[in-house]
Each structure stands twice: as C-alpha cells, then as structure tokens.
Amino acid sequence: MSEHKNVAVAKSPATHRARRIDAIYPPPSPHWVGDGFRVMGYYAQDPDLARKLNPFLLIDYHAPYSYAPMQNKPRGVGPHPHRGFETVTIVFEGSVAHHDSTGAGGVIGPGDVQWMTAASEYWADAHDADMGQLAREEQNRSAPISAA
C-alpha cells in the first residue's frame, strides 16, 4: 500500500501499479424518482464527473430510508423508456419489483443484482415490493461496451 493525500491506495493486480484516488465526494442532496425512490445522484456534484466515470451515464444511490406504508399501491416509478444503455441495480436492503414491456419481471431482493440490456427501446416500471419498508439500493447506467 502507498499513501496519497492521507488516503491508502492499493496496487491494482491487473496493472501492478498504484492508482490514486481522484476525489472523495460527500453525499449530494436526495431527490425523488417517482414516489418511491429517494436517491442521491452523484453527477450533479462535478460537471466533469461524466468524463471521469465514463462509460457510466448515471449513478444513483438510495441511502437507507424508512417509508411510511402506502395503503392502496406500492411506491415506485411508473412506465419509463430504456434504450441504448445497460442498467445494473444492486439491492442491499428491502426489495424492488420490476416489470418491462417484454413480459419479463420479478423481485430484486437483498444481495441481488439485476443487469438489464436495452439495445432497442422497451418500457419498464419499478416499485417497492415491501409496500413501504426500509430500502437501500444503488443503480448504475452505462453506455453499451463495444468490442475494441
């Protein structure tokens, strides 16, 4: 391990060289996606972050949050388009029910990872499968990775 700006940096086994930490970002203010996902989007903090984190297009973190129970419907986000990117959702606590216009769907629970590829447009919706319990998750979207 080497030291850089009082932050320990491990040597990368792939390159056998130390990689420095460019920045440590404090959590941004949360915002709502639909009525069920209180997330923090990291790209708004640094105008150059999209270039630094290429190929990622979006990184949203859903910090631990307890929702008031809903009576008639689960919290979430209704149908919305996906096209030309990969979406990776990691659930740490709680669960997310997901359905798309291809007929696929299911529940993503604690420890689960869902990877969606949207080459051509399809529609998806997602909601809290626990009807208002504690939730914590992360979602990343990246541009398709083409063979070089």
Range of the domain at 138: 23-142
Please check whether residue 34 lies inside any domain of the structure.
yes
Residue 92's CATH number: 2.60.120.10
pLDDT in tens, 106-119: 888 888 988 888 77
The identity of residue 77, as a single letter, is V
Q: What percent of the chain has pLDDT over 90?
A: 1
Coil, strand or helix at 42: helix
What is the Cα–Cα distance from 148 to 131, expressed in whole angstroms? 44
What are 44-62's pLDDT values in tens digits? Answer: 777 788 778 777 777 888 8
Task: Note whether residue 9 is domain-resident.
Answer: no
Asked, for residue 81, whether it belongs to a domain, the answer is: yes
Tell me the CA end-to-end span of the chain in Å, nearest whole number.
32
Domain count, the chain: 1
Q: What is the mean pLDDT of the chain?
A: 75
**pLDDT at position 16 over 80:** no
